[in-house]
Amino acid sequence: MNITNSLARSTLAIAMTLFSVVPVLAVRHQVGDFVYDCNYISGQLSATLLYYFGQQTEVSIPESVDYEGKTYTLYYIGDEFSRPFLDNAYVEVVHLPKQAVSIGNEAFSNCQHLQSITFGLNLERIGDYAFYHCPRLNQVRMYYALTDIGNYAFAECESLTAITLGRGVTRLGDGVFDKSPLQSLTVSGRTLATWSGSLSYEPTFYNSCSLKVPIGMLAAYQASDTWSQFENIIEIAEAGDINFDGSTDITDVNMLINVILGRITIDIETGDIDSNGQIDIADVNLLINMMIGKVN
């Protein structure tokens, strides 16, 4: 056997194996006001939004970006080194792409005019300081895939008086609402989220902010070492429980359809499952997906 040729073949085989598992280096690509990293990881074409240079007041971040004949799905808003909207002086309303799974650290920090942010159905994580010191932020729409909210993510949001956590949230970061004037915090899930430190270090936070929990969960929250710090804990029907019977099932779907057909009326807060300000067929679809387990 030719040892040299054998060694060469072995080296080539190892190199090919490594190439198949090691991600291809990201390619930076700009389209309009957006700058992306386009990457190929584990057989998937994915994009990360790195920077936004526009001056629009309402921004809809694209679902994907095309580069050299290939389409890269936008999964990440910012990464370890980039903060796409940090210190942006113009944006007021932001719509995230449906497939985005992560908002990076400080991605929207210190956006002085940001008022509203709409997350996609697949968002799983909000990074540390993601919306830190956004003084006009007053509307945050969360969906059910979200599990993790980082340290000080919504701290010093001076206009944020109420927020509803999606039912999938399991971890809240230290100081997540520090110096934000929350009057109402609604938790949708039946698994108590954990946190270290404190949700806020304002001395009156746990007295002035009401905690709203799903029907049947009052005792669990009152017995928790952390959640029991809230002075006022109230039970409410969870998202999707249209008829307030303590469960989400086909009767809720039928009731919601009757609302859309105009046969009955309910409070918009009860039927607006996707938190878009109206009751429509999208709420029915989301409710069905909740029932069959496609969303948490």
Which of 122, 240, 129 lies closest to 189, judged by CA? Answer: 240
Residue with the bigger pLDDT between 72 and 268: it is 72
The whole-angstrom separation of Cα 218 and Cα 105 is: 33
Residues 6 or more apart whose CB falls under 8 angstroms from that of 234 comprise 210, 211, 212, 213
Residue with the bigger pLDDT between 169 and 248: it is 169
CB contact at 8 A, 161 and 183: yes
Residue with the bigger pLDDT between 248 and 134: it is 134
Which pLDDT does position 22 carry in this prediction?
A: 42
The whole-angstrom separation of Cα 131 and Cα 91 is: 13
Which pLDDT does position 6 carry in this prediction?
A: 52
Structure tokens at 229: 């710090």
Name the least confident of 38-42, 112-116, 178-182: 38-42
**How does strand 70-77 pair with strand 102-103?**
parallel
CB contact at 8 A, 192 and 219: no
Which pLDDT does position 23 carry in this prediction?
A: 46
Local confidence band at 62 (pLDDT 50, 70, 90 cut-offs): very high
The whole-angstrom separation of Cα 32 and Cα 66 is: 12
What are the pLDDT digits (tens) for 83-131? Answer: 999 999 999 999 999 999 999 999 999 999 999 998 888 899 999 999 9
pLDDT at 67 exceeding the cut of 60: yes
CB contact at 8 A, 129 and 109: yes
Instruction: Name residue, tokens 């970006």.
Output: 65
Q: Where in the chain is the domain with CATH 1.10.1330?
A: 243-291
Structure tokens at 273: 């499952």
Which pLDDT does position 25 carry in this prediction?
A: 62
Please name the fold of domain 20-178: 3.80.10
pLDDT at 294 exceeding the cut of 70: no
Q: Three-state SS for 40? A: strand
The whole-angstrom separation of Cα 112 and Cα 108 is: 10
- The C-alpha torsion from 48 through 50 and 51 to 56, rounded to 10°, is 20
Which pLDDT does position 275 carry in this prediction?
A: 63
Q: Where in the chain is the domain with CATH 3.80.10.10?
A: 20-178
Q: Which amino acid, residue 196?
A: S
CATH 1.10.1330 matches 243-291:
yes
Local confidence band at 197 (pLDDT 50, 70, 90 cut-offs): very high
What's the whole-model pTM score?
A: 0.79
Q: What is the mean pLDDT of residues 53-78?
A: 96
pLDDT at 7 exceeding the cut of 90: no
**Mean pLDDT for the chain?**
87
What are the pLDDT digits (tens) for 215-250? Answer: 889 999 999 999 999 999 999 877 677 877 767 889
pLDDT at 38 exceeding the cut of 70: yes
Which pLDDT does position 83 carry in this prediction?
A: 97
CB contact at 8 A, 165 and 144: no
The whole-angstrom separation of Cα 272 and Cα 282 is: 9
